[in-house]
Amino acid sequence: MKSVKHTATEGNPLGILPVGSLMRKFALPSIVAMMVSAVYNIVDQLFIGQAVGTLGNAATNIAFPLAMMCTAIALMFGIGGASSFNLTLGAGDEKRAPYFVGNAITGLVIGGSVLCLTVELFLRPLLVGFGSPADVLPYALSYVRITALGFPFLILTIGGGHLIRADGSPNMTMLCNLSGAIINVFLDALFVMGLGWGMQGAALATIMGQFFSAGLAVRYLLHYKTVSLRLEHLKPKAEFITFIMKIGAASSINQLAMMVVQILLNNSLKYYGAQSVYGEAIPIACAGIVTKCNQLFFAVVIGLSQGSQPIESFNYGAKKYGRVREAYRLAVTAGVAISVVAFAMFQLIPRQLISLFGEGSQEYYQFAVNYFRIFLFFTWANAIQPITATFFTSIGKPKKGTFCSLTRQILFLVPLILILPLFMGIDGILFAGPVADALAVTVTALMAYFEFRRMPKE
């Protein structure tokens, strides 16, 4: 008679089907889901840019660190719970596996609620700390006071999507995100352009889409397929919460690092912009638009890494190391290919891209084009770092995953943003990007190389 572990491993499609087929099954919906998440931010910026202008664009960039915080919480418990679940299931422990899903759901709900309350209580000082110029602050306050109400639902949608994907239903994850985005786009057009509600209209459209997406995610989670979820699985237990947070730390810290960089970037652009011909608002507005265009490309890369996660986790737990190698290789190959396409667009048509977000002065276009071409010069290689960070998390090595996540943002970019402008002015901020990217790609690629050399062949 087969052991429980053998049966669980051999009977799961993650350990049987061709890796290429599994990557298509899991990565494509993940890519769509991540792109839809990026659309939430970009659509608001598109309509706000057309209806409100530069100050409105700057306001959405000031608010952007809060969106990153939502994603950080969602990934902490979403990817942490999903990876823990798949690793445990791959090892054949079907009794403990549902506790990771249930505790992850509880963590998502608590985290979203705490963030919403904190932001509503300390909104003005937070936005000032994020680098808001005085003339931008009223727009940012109007926007975030409403969008903060949707934070618990956004976090539950993003994090719940990872748990749904771990259950073998990536298409459902895609549906949850896609439906909310469609609602958001439709209501943005109605509220912002049709009714002229400006920043408040864009915020209302956003949270209404998030309410609907979260409802779909909750409905699925109540009927989990792989294991049966009961109330006892939702009760927080230190053993499971701690492991989930440890496994999800790399992905979460990456977002937190991006948030720290965004706040530092806003304040630096404000300070050095005031000393240049651009002024305070133009660099912040342009950087926000460029960041969100880059986020749309990066959503494809993150989708690839997330699509590889259940394959890498399960097969590493089942000691099928050849399948782990193949999943990583496919993710990196596809990621670099899409990175090259994005690099070409950012270099060849930056003015056309920035024009989609409304009109501006000659200085506005000049700074935006320079930001695209210089700050994002190493876009063609940027897929390696996030895919490698997720890989280490997926195989249960969160410390290495966390270090990979910190390389670009904290280890390299933060010091460069602080040092280079002292000698180059605002241009130093632009050149900090490619230098940090080159260093991060080199370090993470070497880490992956040595990890695979140590991994058993079979």
Dump pLDDT digits (tens) for 306-317: 888 888 888 888
pLDDT band at residue 162, thresholds of 50, 70 and 90? confident
- The answer to whether 30 touches 304, Cβ cutoff 8 Å, is yes
Question: What is the structure's pLDDT at 306?
Answer: 80
CB proximity list for 366: less than 8 A, separation 6 or greater: none
393's tokens: 């998390």
Enumerate residues 6+ apart whose C-beta is below 8 A from 454.
none
d(C-alpha 251, C-alpha 451), whole Å: 19
The string of DSSP letters for 163-189 reads HHHHTT-HHHHHHHHHHHHHHHHHHHI
Q: Categorize the per-residue pLDDT at 7 as very low, low, confident or very high, splitting at 50, 70 and 90.
A: very low
Q: Does the pTM exceed 0.85?
A: no
- Evaluate if residue 171 carries a pLDDT over 90: no
The answer to whether 319 and 312 are in contact (CB under 8 A) is no
Output the average pLDDT for the chain: 87
What would the pLDDT profile of 134-150 be if each residue is shown by its tens digit?
Answer: 989 999 999 999 999 99
Span of 154-158, 349-353, 399-403 with lowest mean pLDDT: 399-403
Q: Is residue 419 classed as helix, strand or coil in its secondary structure?
A: helix
Q: Which amino acid does the sequence have at 11?
A: G
Residue 6 — very low, low, confident or very high, per pLDDT cuts 50/70/90? very low
pLDDT confidence of residue 418: 95
Q: E strands, 320-374, where?
A: none
Count of helices and strands (H, E) across the chain: 19, 0
CB distance 41 to 49 below 8 Å: no
Mean pLDDT of 264-276: 93
DSSP, residue by residue, 112-166: HHHHHHHHHHSHHHHHHHTT--TTTHHHHHHHHHHHGGGHHHHHHHHHHHHHHHH
pLDDT score recorded for residue 11: 62
In contact, 104 and 78? CB cutoff 8 Å: yes
